[in-house]
Amino acid sequence: MPFLAGALAALGAGWVGFPHAIYKSRPQPVDFSHKVHAEKAGTKCEDCHAFREDGTFAGIPSLSTCAACHAAPMGTTAAEKNFIDAYVTPNREPDWASYAQQPENVFFSHITHVKLGQLKCEQCHGDQGASDKLRPYQVDRISGYSRDIWGRTLFQSKAAGAVPGMKMDDCVDCHRKQGLSHSCLDCHK
């Protein structure tokens, strides 16, 4: 009995404590809401996440995109005022973290997936584009990888609204379903 209780207590402590020990968490720099921008500013995804003329993906928008609207406050929220005071006025780029960031040795191209493959953003990113709040960015202290790559437990990755994984297995799984097969060097530099 004491052994069982001890084992359960250790398991419980590990279950709760381990993610804290292994992941370092930091908030995103700005209290940005995708939902507010879709509803109040009427922006489309490509207003901020555009493809350039040469087909490369611009990714996270730079401050100039935001400043085009926020040179002066458009509303009265504290979130907007903080953003203007900390970034727009001093002309400082926010230090955004990309949840999907892959290791240096992985090659990934948005244009082939979105234009040629006709995939929706949500298939890989979940509903982040519709979120009202940015969740904290979590990074594995040892590997330096984002938690979204392979830090989700089975339980978390199956939960409703979960962000799909970005592991090698996840890439290969979808490719296999689409009847594609790639050599190591198609994905690795």
d(CA 126, CA 166): 11
186 neighbors 107 (Cβ within 8 angstroms) = yes
The yes or no reply on residue 178 touching ligand HEC (CB under 6 A) is: yes
Residue 83 vs 147, nearer CB to ligand HEC: 83
Q: How far is CA 110 from CA 25, 56, 68, 184, in A?
A: 27, 8, 25, 18
Report in angstroms how near the CB of residue 97 gets to ligand HEC at its nearest: 6
Restricted to residues 116-135, the positions that interact with ligand HEC (CB under 6 A) are 116-117, 119, 121, 123-125, 128-129, 134
Residue 167 near residue 150 (C-beta atoms within 8 A):
yes
**Residue 106 interacts with ligand HEC (CB under 6 A): yes or no:** yes
C-alpha angle with apex 11: 10 to 14, nearest 5 degrees?
85
Q: Does 147 bind ligand HEC (CB under 6 A)?
A: no
Binding residues among 46-105 for ligand HEC as defined by CB under 6 A: 47-49, 59-61, 65-66, 68-70, 74-75, 77, 79-80, 83, 96, 98-103, 105
